[in-house]
Amino acid sequence: MKNVIVLLLFIIWAQSSAQPCTKEDILKQPGYWTPGLKSSTYGVTPADLAKQQTIVNTIIQSIQKKYASPRGVDIVFGGAHFENSRLPQISKPGNYYYAYFYIIEHPCVYAKEAMENRGASAYLWICANDFSLEFGQSFFVPSKPNEENPKTDAFRLIDQNPVLKDGMWYWRDGKGSTGDYRWVVASDGKQPFVIISRKEMAERLKVYYQKKLKQSEDQFNETLKTNEETYQNLKKFNEKEANAFRDQSKVYAEKMRSIEQSMYGKSLAVVENILKSSDLASLQQPAIIDHIKGFNEFEGFVTEDHMYATYAIRPNPAYFNPQLPKSSPQFFTVHFRMPETGDNLLSEKAKEDLLKAIDFTSLKNMLGK
């Protein structure tokens, strides 16, 4: 009988000890601040780097002071420094550098050594002169083979219209499983970027589609020329096959031209109709684009409640002071990224604590210094 009781107690203990821990349990574990890898640096002079490192370290130390004891997560921190060469529109945008904070959630049983192989579950970057926004869209149409895009007309589509909150511009990117949140700290509430209006977008698209129509016609003529040369070479060996090639290649080239001419022609007609509007107030509204359909078959602007609505922004050259040293922050971007899976208690708590620890007033006071 005694042995049976002991066995039952052992089974109960084993079952209870095997129960998985909860996120609330993990939140009770102390977390650690862990230095990341040595700072990445490219194209920055030693003098600029020294000043930038001071700024980055000041940001990190200020947050660590207010958020000294993470719970249930480790925070990997560090910085990086790069020359800002992505924006031909801005003559001197300043160097691009940032402090980073990677949130690494604890497992049920914490072992500091094992954490080195765990990936981050959320990320915070505090960036100076941040054009990692990747203005990857462009109205550029090459006029000759292999012509390089100068990117002087680059723009970007974002998921929300930036709004001014507490003296900062805020918006969220990401629809679905990943959320990207951005707060832009700029001088006197000004914007280092411009929200493109319907009028500006339509004017740019008009020129774009005119160029695309000409490009389509030029490519058609070039294809006919190349096909004729191929036909003449084939004819030397087999006239029947050469004739078949010429007929088939011409049909295909004409089909492709017809598709492109129709597509760009219809888009141009839509844009020209927009520009004929006498509703000047409507033309000054933000250009809201259906990012799924994009610009190949443009059917007009959509409303902000459209499922695939995106807003177009471009860099604002008038914002920047070219007289400032490259190391001077002309604006800051606070960028937080976290997968939105519905089970993010640890990262969500760390996010709240990190954001509370950011001294936005101090960031604003650093601008132009």
For position 258, what pLDDT does the model report? 93
Sign of CA dihedral 81, 82, 87, 88: positive
User: According to the model, what pLDDT value does residue 131 have?
Assistant: 66
pLDDT category at 2 given cuts 50, 70, 90 is very low
Closest by CA to 122, choosing from 64, 76, 81, is 76
pLDDT of 63 over the 60 cut: yes
Nearest C-alpha neighbor of 312 from the set 285, 293, 290, 289: 289
Partners of 79 in the beta sheet? 99
As a whole number, the mean pLDDT across the chain is 85
Residue 314 dihedral angles phi and psi, to the nearest 5°: -140, 160
pLDDT score of 174? 67
Residue 359 is classified by DSSP as: -
Strand locations in 37-174 (E): 40-42, 73-82, 96-105, 122-128, 156-158, 163-165, 168-173
Percent of the chain residues past pLDDT 90, beyond the cut = 46
pLDDT at 7 over 60: no
Give the per-residue pLDDT at 16.
37
For residue 109, the model assigns a pLDDT of 76
CA atoms 260, 142, 157, 283: torsion sign: negative
Q: Residue 57 above 60 pLDDT?
A: yes
Q: Tens of pLDDT along 234-292?
A: 888 888 888 898 889 999 999 999 999 999 999 999 999 999 999 999 999 999 999 88
- Neighbouring residues of 254: CB distance < 8 A, sequence distance ≥ 6: 220
> What is the Cα Rg of the chain in Å?
29
Q: Considering the entire predicted model, what is its pTM?
A: 0.79
Residue type, 298: F
- Report which of residues 344 and 46 the model is more confident about: 46
Per-residue pLDDT of 146-186, as tens digits, reads: 887 777 777 888 888 888 888 888 887 766 556 788 899 99
Query: Which DSSP state fits 95?
Result: -
* Contact assessment for residue 101 and residue 35, using Cβ atoms and an 8 Å cutoff: no
CA angle at 140 for the pair 138 and 146, rounded to the nearest 5°: 120
Is pLDDT above 80 for 83? yes
Report yes or no: 56 and 99 within 8 Å, Cβ to Cβ: yes
Beta strand 73-82 pairing with 33-35: parallel
pLDDT: which is higher, 359 or 20: 359
Q: Tens digit of pLDDT for each residue in 293-338?
A: 888 889 999 998 898 898 988 888 888 888 999 999 999 999 998 8
**Average of pLDDT values for 138-150?**
80
CA–CA dist 186, 204 (Å, integer): 27
* pLDDT tens-place string over residues 185-210: 998 868 888 899 999 999 999 999 99
Confidence of residue 97 (pLDDT cuts 50, 70, 90): very high
CA atoms within 13 Å, Cβ hemisphere of 221: 5
**pLDDT score of 1:** 43
Which pLDDT value is given to residue 19? 46
